[in-house]
Structure 1
């Protein structure tokens, strides 16, 4: 009987581990890392004395991105649940942290061609009238 209890406990533990792996599935979020490592300026906005490329390197090193865009105006990182904008500000950087739809709307002019649509999902809309997009 004692062996069955231990076996059931091991099966349950294995199930919990598999569930955690499935839920996390390699998805990472930069939210906690940014909040812990950069100075909060206001809701969703942080600052760093480092240049945008250095900040982006730090964030990406700790949190794998789905995509990233480098422009002369800043670095933009796309995650499954966040968009991070890292912009030059004085000698350092301003870091913004948004939900995907809000981040895409904010930085569309910088990432639109690269990310293709709201939240980074490519859009497939090809027109609206009769015979359009066919």
Structure 2
């Protein structure tokens, strides 16, 4: 009986820690999954063979994005507080992740007519109850 209780407590503690991780709930970017799934290269990650749309779909299949848009040969995934950009790179794809504000400014020419400017008075990132 003590073993069952210990297992139950251990299970609940593990579940609580998982719920607090960066990849869980609330539409967060699957940072850890991307880090383990793709090869790190110069500030981003690289898939050596898959095209941009395939890689973006793999990421979104793992964790659904709030929004997805394309611009030229790039795909952008919008998560709660972050942006994932997937672009062509050496016969495969490059994955770059930034917080929303940094990513928006970095890729403004691709996103300004699609997603809200984080510096505008009307921008309310993070969704309801986020305290922003």
When normalised by structure 1's length, the TM-score is 0.67
- Structure 1 CA distance, aligned partners of 2:90 and 2:35? 21
Higher helix residue share: 1
Structural mapping, 1:1-134, within 5 Å: 25-43=25-43, 45-48=44-47, 49-118=49-118, 123-124=121-122
Deviations 1:102-133 (A, max 9, x none): 11111111011110212xx87539xxxxxxxx
Gaps of at least 5 residues in structure 2 are 1-11, 124-132
Whether contact under 8 Å (2:88, 2:94) holds in the other structure is yes
Structural RMSD (CA) = 2.9
Runs of 4+ in 1 over 6 A off after TM superposition: none
Whether contact under 8 Å (2:84, 2:98) holds in the other structure is yes
- Structure 2 CA distance, aligned partners of 1:40 and 1:117? 29
Larger Rg: 1
> How many residue pairs align between the two structures?
108
* Corresponding residue for residue 8 of structure 1: none
Secondary structure in 2 matching 1:58? helix
Secondary structure in 2 matching 1:113? coil
